[in-house]
């Protein structure tokens, strides 16, 4: 089964944050931190051949990203 994950291109990200007043260095760190976390979840899923479907993994990732303690 093919497992395909789409990532937003840098141009799309830049368009979303172009009006942001957040410091560029912090924004760069924040994006790398979040993308790294997503890759870590996907890598663990693939390496351990976990039972979740691609849709379930996306739901898990979205729940983690949307979590606000």
Q: Rounded to 5 degrees, what are φ and ψ at 10?
A: -60, -35
Rounded to whole angstroms, the maximal C-alpha distance in the chain is 42
Residue-level pLDDT at 1? 33
**Residue 2: CB atoms within 10 Å:** 4
User: Under a CB-based contact definition with an 8 Å cutoff, are residues 61 and 38 in contact?
Assistant: yes
Can you give the pTM of this predicted structure?
Answer: 0.57
User: Rounded to the nearest 10 degrees, what angle do helices 24-47 and 54-65 cross at?
Assistant: 150
Residue-level pLDDT at 12? 65
Residue-level pLDDT at 4? 42
pLDDT tens for each residue of the chain, 69 residues long: 344 444 455 666 666 667 667 777 887 888 788 888 888 888 998 899 889 898 898 888 888 776 554
């Amino acid at each position: 089964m093919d497992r395909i994950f789409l990532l937003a291109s840098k141009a799309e990200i830049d368009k979303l944050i172009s009006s942001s007043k957040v410091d560029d260095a912090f924004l760069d760190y924040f994006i790398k931190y979040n993308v790294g976390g997503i890759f870590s979840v996907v890598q663990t899923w693939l390496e351990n051949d976990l039972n979740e479907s691609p849709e379930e993994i996306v739901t898990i990732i979205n729940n983690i990203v949307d979590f606000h303690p």
